[in-house]
Structure formats: C-alpha cells, structure tokens
Structure 1
Amino acid sequence: MNDEPLVLLNPGPACTTERVRAALGRGDMCHRESEFTALLADLREGLVRCLNVAETHETVLVTGSGTSAMEMAVISSVREGRSLLVVNNGVYGDRLAKIARANGIPVTEVSGDWTTPIDPELVREALAADPSIDAVAMVFHETTTGLINPVRAVGAVVRDSEACFVVDAISATANEDEDLADIDADFICGTANKGLHALPGMSFILVSQKAVRRLYEVPTRSLYLNAATYLDGQRKGDVPFTPAVQVCFALDEAIKEFEERGGFAARTAEYRARADLVRKAVNDLGLKILVEPPHRSNAVTMIRLPEGVTYPTLHDELKAAGYVIYAGQGTLSKEFFRIATMGEIPWPKLERFVDVLGSTVHQLRSQG
C-alpha cells in the first residue's frame, strides 16, 4: 500500500485541501451565540454569491448528506392534494421518486434510458396532461452514469407552468458547464462536498421567490426537514437544530478558496481538463465509455471493464497504488466502473493515475 493518502476517484466524498481540513480546528462554538450567527450569514450569502444566484435565490442550510437536501426540496415543493413529476433516468432520479412516495406525495414519472438525456417535450406533454402536477424534479448530473440532463431546456418548459422546478444539482454544483443561474430552477439541491471541495455533512437548498412562497403553502411533512422552519430561523441568524459547526467552518473556508481560485469559470475549466485527460487514457486503452461525448459530465466517467477483468480485482490493484475508483450501479455494476475526477486532485497525481491505470489494465489483461 502506498504510504501517501488515498486519492478518491469516487463521486463523493471527494478529497479536500489541507486548508479546508485545518478549518475544522478553529475550535468549539455554540450555535446559539453571535459568532455562529455571523458564520451562518457568511455561508448563506457566500453560497448564492459563488454559485451566481445571489439576485434570485437565498440559501437554506441543513446538516446532513445531499439526500437530506433532496428530501427537504421534494417535500417543500408539492402542496396537499397535488403531485410530483419526476424525470427518472438513473438511480438518483429514482431516489427523488422514492422520497416523494415515502412522504405520501403522488408521483408521475417521465422515464428514459440511463445513457440518454430526457426529451424536454415529454415533460411538456406530462404537464399538459395532468393539471395536478405541482412540481417537476430532475437530476442535473446523474452520477449513476456520468450523464448530463437538459436542465436548462426543462427549466424553460416548467417556467411556462404553475409548477415549481426542483433540481438535484448535488454533483453538478460549481463544476458543470451550465451555470445554475441559467436553469430556471426554483429549488436547487447542493452539498458542501463534491464540486465545492468542502467536507461532507452540510447540504443546502437554494430557493427562488416562487419556491419561498411554495414552501409556506405545503403541509408540514417532517420535523427535521421542514424548510419553512429553517428559512424563518436562518433569516434571523438562528437554526432549529444543532448544526455540524466544525463542518460549517470547513465550508466557509472552501467558499473562500473557491472564489480565490477564480470561481465557477475556473473550476469548470479545471474539471473539463481532468475529464479530458482521463478519457483520452481510457480511449487509448480501447475501453468503452458508456455515455456519448455530447452528454458527458465534467466529473464522472462510466467505463466498461476490460474483458476478463472483474471490478474487485481492478479496484484492489488501483487502491494498492493509492487510488480509489467506484463501481457501477444497478444493472451496470457487473460490466462497468466509474472514475470521478471531482474534489481536490493535484494534476500530477491525476497524470500518475492514468499511467497506473494503463499499466494495471495491461497487467490484468496479460494475466487473463
């Protein structure tokens, strides 16, 4: 085993900088004191600022994984007696539907192949056919396959209706080509880790004014994840439950680092370059990438396993060299693996990875 820290090439948790990790050591802080009120304000303002939606959205922070933000958004977007339309072409689209059903919200689905972006016209047709639809939920980046969905086009369709648009941008926050400011989303779900390079444990929804009106019209479906309670408190500098204070320190540092490094444009360019490096190496090895080039994300590449090589074998060989890759999901798990180039990955380490990947694949092929 390599003595250096493992480089995580999985789609979260992502690697972070020493500066962000060091922020955990700022010390203990009571969340009912003025110091935390100031920190909370900085985070709420910093997130909408660095994600380019300060003029249209405000932040609701919640302690939890990205799924907590997804659940908060779903249960806050559909009024009593109405339904949710879910765009489902991957594991996380399916999760949105499961969240709704678990909370007693009727669901209609527009389903598609896991490797193909959904046709926005199907959303338009579904909205026209069912006046009970109160919100449309979809995933920006399906990390199941590395597929980018047409969020901007779907947002334009939803904008012409009474429905709210809920976007799971958890693995697309700050690192995909379409700016969050341009997708007409009312509820944007994000997390501190992944593209923002903070630590897991804090998530958020960014809410438009339409979303704010909606979350006060829905029934209370959860004690812990009731967005109206959080928004009321956070507007006054308060939180309803004990937050992960030290993780808030790290998020604060990550926002500063993000902006100092050039913000959205710089990080998106960095992620594209990383993906290009990995994909060229994969193509040179003769391995198939599942998603076609126009629809690929900047952060995740889904690759067919070399013939005769199992995922556990490939995973263990690469881990011994210092790199953690990720398995496929669902029906793709036996044939494909994923490389996620998100988080803090110094370029020389990524260059070394593609060399290690090449030599490992050649070695395993020769053994087969």
Structure 2
Amino acid sequence: MTINHRNILLNPGPVTLSERVRQALLREDLCHREPEFAQLMLDIKSRLVSVYPEAVGNYEAIVLTGSGTCAVEAMLSSLIPQSGKALIVTNGVYGERMAKMVKIHQKNLVVVTSPWEEPMNCDAVEQHLTQDSSFTHVVAVHHETTTGRLNDIAKLGEICRSRNVALLLDCVSSFGAENIQFSEWNLEACAATVNKCLHGVPGLSFVLTKKSVFESRYTAASSLYLDIYGYHQQQLEGYSPFTQSVQVSYALQEALKELEEEGGWQSRNELYKNRSQIIQNSLQSLGIRTLLNYADYSCVLKSYRLPPDYSYYDIHKQLKKHKFIIYAGQGGLEKTIFRIANMGNIYHSEIQELIQCFEKLFLAKAIKL
C-alpha cells in the first residue's frame, strides 16, 4: 500500500510515517493470546528498554494500549502509594494535567507551579523536600510541549537523589530523542508513547519502571485497566491482561528497528536539531521570533510568536494547502504562538519546501523584528 498524498505533520505527534512502518500495519491478523504475539511483545519490550542502554537490566517496559496520557496516568496511579505524597512540578499544560490525575486518584499532593514561559522552580522543590520528609515522589515533565521547553531534569534529579525521593517523569515527547539519565535522576519510572519520537503509530504507550518496585511494594492502583502491576505479571511471558493493538505492535517493532539502524536516540536528536535550526533560521530571517530563548528548547519542538496581522488560522490554512500541518498554542498562548515539531519521516527537500511556503506567506507583508 503506497500513499500518493503525503501530509507532512509538524504537530507534536502523531508523525509522518515511513513507508516501512506503514507496510508493517498490513501483516497477517493475529490473536493477542497466541504465542506468536507473545514473542512479538517480548521483542518490543526488550527494544524499548534498549533505547537507553543504562535502563537495560534494571527497568521493565510495561506496554499499554492507549495514548501517552494513558501511560502517564497508569504510572502515577500505580506507583504513588495512598499513604505517600507527591510533589508535582508544573510549568505547562502537561504538568498541570498530571496534578489533576493525582487529585482524581485521591493521592496526597503539593503542586509547585511556574508560569508557562518560565523554568521549573527547583528552589521551591528543594525547600519543600527539606521541610517535609513525607514526600515519596517528585513528578515532572521532561519536555513540556506547551512551549517546547526541555526542563532541567538534571537539576531536579540531583535534588531527588540527594534526598532519596523517587522521580516519576513524563517523557511522552522526549523518549527516543533526548537524553534520559535513569540513575543520576533517581528515576523510578518514566511514561512515553510510540507515536512521537519513536515514529510509530498511535495506539500504544508504555511505562519504563524500575524492576525493584515490583519486588518491594504492592500496587497503589485505583484503576483496573491502568494497574501496571497487572500488566507486569502477564507481560513477563509476553501477554497482557487486556486486548493489545496487534497491528500497532507490528508497526512499533518496525519503527524500533528503524531507530536502531539509524543510530539510536543520539542520531535522532541530531536529526531533529538540524531540522529545527533550519526552520528557525528561516523564520528568524522573516522576522518571526521564538517564544523562549533558543537554549531552552528541546530538539523536538519550538514555539514561535505570531507576527502582527496574522492569526494561527491564517498560517495554518495557507500551509495546509501545501500539505504542511503545524500546531496552535494552548490555553493563554492560543492567540499568541504557533508550534512546529521536527519529528517523523520528513525529507530535507520537504523542509526546504516548507521554508519556501513561509517566504511566500510572510514576505507579502513587511514583518519587522
């Protein structure tokens, strides 16, 4: 199956697929209770952990049928004990969403909030942990796609490690493209999805969880479907307590092989950085400014200020005519920014075509810095 019309997705997932991954969706039908699927799942679990060699041997990938949000909620609801206490660090939509999850599951929490355009408040985190020894977990977002900020998890992780407080991390928009230091950050678990930096198909997500957690304490889950302990028990043999997405699993296996052959997460990081720099240079020459300082961004996504006399709708509409799909701002940033992600199977020639579209769009009016 070859797709003649090719959309270039510059939104933060799902991504433009390679033909190789797309073809994997056409493999034979298979029951998720058959041993062939169990072998497929065991291979996927091994490859997911191996994306970061430091995780091999100490972490297990728990694979769920659901979006990245599914994995994040499964991680939080299963691992924060009812008798525990979580310190949620937020500076965007996705940190705030995790705070809502913890509240819904009726776990004890304190929220340290920063404005969306600012870094996490690590000083406040340190103060809370110093004054209150009852915190069992710190919860944060690695790459906050609200703005594109790559949060300083090295600093946060150092605070957690020095106080022996476990870190739970939303890596939904960073896993497979940014560095993750499992030991240095005192990482108990991280949640991610397959349809962003891994270039898979939407429908599966996962939680890389420290194996010792399953051995040392019982589940804290307040949900049947989201209980990662239940998945852990059956996935040791490659099975799952509920129906898994078979075709999406085929595609994920192929996407992971593709990542390995291309040089792993480091290679993908460089690829994204190069794409991002080309786009940024072009927009900067047209007078379009980034929302954050350049050094604050992840390689995965950048946010740009809407120029005078342009709405997001104007820009989106014109780019979509040429098959490019960009992304709007969220919440209070909805009318002030647009976002461009760098993920997926995108050719250099297509990035050049995007730049030409920007030039035609913005040179029509004199945009000044």
SS of match in other structure, 1:249: helix
Paired position in structure 2 for 1:88: 90
Paired position in structure 2 for 1:171: 173
SS of match in other structure, 1:223: coil
Quote how far apart the aligned CAs of 1:162 are.
Answer: 4.2
* CA distance, structure 2, for counterparts of residue 182 and residue 285 of structure 1: 41
- Residues 193 and 343 of structure 1 are in contact (CA less than 8 Å); yes or no, is this contact kept in structure 2? no
Quote how far apart the aligned CAs of 1:219 are.
Answer: 3.0
With over 3 angstroms needed to count, the CA separation of the structure-2 counterparts of 1:203 and 1:185, relative to structure 1, is: same
Paired position in structure 2 for 1:115: 117
Q: Which amino acid aligns with 2:330?
A: Q
With over 3 angstroms needed to count, the CA separation of the structure-2 counterparts of 1:174 and 1:150, relative to structure 1, is: same
With over 3 angstroms needed to count, the CA separation of the structure-2 counterparts of 1:148 and 1:14, relative to structure 1, is: same
* CA distance, structure 1, for counterparts of residue 263 and residue 140 of structure 2: 29
TM-score after normalising by structure 1 = 0.94
- Residues 187 and 211 of structure 1 are in contact (CA less than 8 Å); yes or no, is this contact kept in structure 2? no
Quote how far apart the aligned CAs of 1:122 are.
Answer: 2.3
> In structure 1, which of residues 152, 155, 158 is the aligned counterpart of residue 157 of structure 2?
155
Paired position in structure 2 for 1:29: 30
SS of match in other structure, 1:133: coil
1:1-368 matched pairs, under 5 angstroms: 4-52=5-53, 53-178=55-180, 183-213=185-215, 216-363=217-364
* CA distance, structure 1, for counterparts of residue 184 and residue 321 of structure 2: 42
* CA distance, structure 1, for counterparts of residue 191 and residue 75 of structure 2: 7
With over 3 angstroms needed to count, the CA separation of the structure-2 counterparts of 1:181 and 1:273, relative to structure 1, is: farther
- Residues 309 and 364 of structure 1 are in contact (CA less than 8 Å); yes or no, is this contact kept in structure 2? no
Q: What 5-or-longer segments of structure 1 have no aligned partner? A: none
* CA distance, structure 2, for counterparts of residue 111 and residue 349 of structure 1: 39
SS of match in other structure, 1:242: coil
With over 3 angstroms needed to count, the CA separation of the structure-2 counterparts of 1:211 and 1:160, relative to structure 1, is: farther
Quote how far apart the aligned CAs of 1:68 are.
Answer: 0.4
* CA distance, structure 2, for counterparts of residue 182 and residue 254 of structure 1: 28
Q: Which amino acid aligns with 2:110?
A: T
TM-score after normalising by structure 2 = 0.94
Deviations 1:213-243 (A, max 9, x none): 46x4343300100010000110122200000
SS of match in other structure, 2:304: strand
With over 3 angstroms needed to count, the CA separation of the structure-2 counterparts of 1:40 and 1:274, relative to structure 1, is: same
With over 3 angstroms needed to count, the CA separation of the structure-2 counterparts of 1:163 and 1:209, relative to structure 1, is: farther
- Residues 166 and 185 of structure 1 are in contact (CA less than 8 Å); yes or no, is this contact kept in structure 2? yes
Quote how far apart the aligned CAs of 1:321 are.
Answer: 1.3
With over 3 angstroms needed to count, the CA separation of the structure-2 counterparts of 1:213 and 1:359, relative to structure 1, is: farther
SS of match in other structure, 2:223: coil
Quote how far apart the aligned CAs of 1:180 are.
Answer: 5.6
- Residues 160 and 185 of structure 2 are in contact (CA less than 8 Å); yes or no, is this contact kept in structure 1? no
- Residues 300 and 343 of structure 2 are in contact (CA less than 8 Å); yes or no, is this contact kept in structure 1? yes
- Residues 186 and 210 of structure 1 are in contact (CA less than 8 Å); yes or no, is this contact kept in structure 2? no
Across the aligned residues of Structure 1 and Structure 2, the Cα RMSD in angstroms comes to 1.7
- Residues 120 and 152 of structure 2 are in contact (CA less than 8 Å); yes or no, is this contact kept in structure 1? yes
With over 3 angstroms needed to count, the CA separation of the structure-2 counterparts of 1:243 and 1:176, relative to structure 1, is: same
With over 3 angstroms needed to count, the CA separation of the structure-2 counterparts of 1:113 and 1:220, relative to structure 1, is: closer
With over 3 angstroms needed to count, the CA separation of the structure-2 counterparts of 1:109 and 1:186, relative to structure 1, is: same
* CA distance, structure 1, for counterparts of residue 126 and residue 137 of structure 2: 12
SS of match in other structure, 1:286: coil
Q: Which amino acid aligns with 1:281?
A: S
* CA distance, structure 2, for counterparts of residue 156 and residue 211 of structure 1: 20
Higher deviation after alignment, 102-111 or 143-152: 102-111
Deviations 1:64-120 (A, max 9, x none): 000000001111221123221111100000011011111111221111122222243
Q: What 5-or-longer segments of structure 2 have no aligned partner? A: none
Deviations 1:31-50 (A, max 9, x none): 11110110011011010112
SS of match in other structure, 1:189: strand
Higher deviation after alignment, 55-64 or 108-117: 108-117
* CA distance, structure 1, for counterparts of residue 214 and residue 163 of structure 2: 17
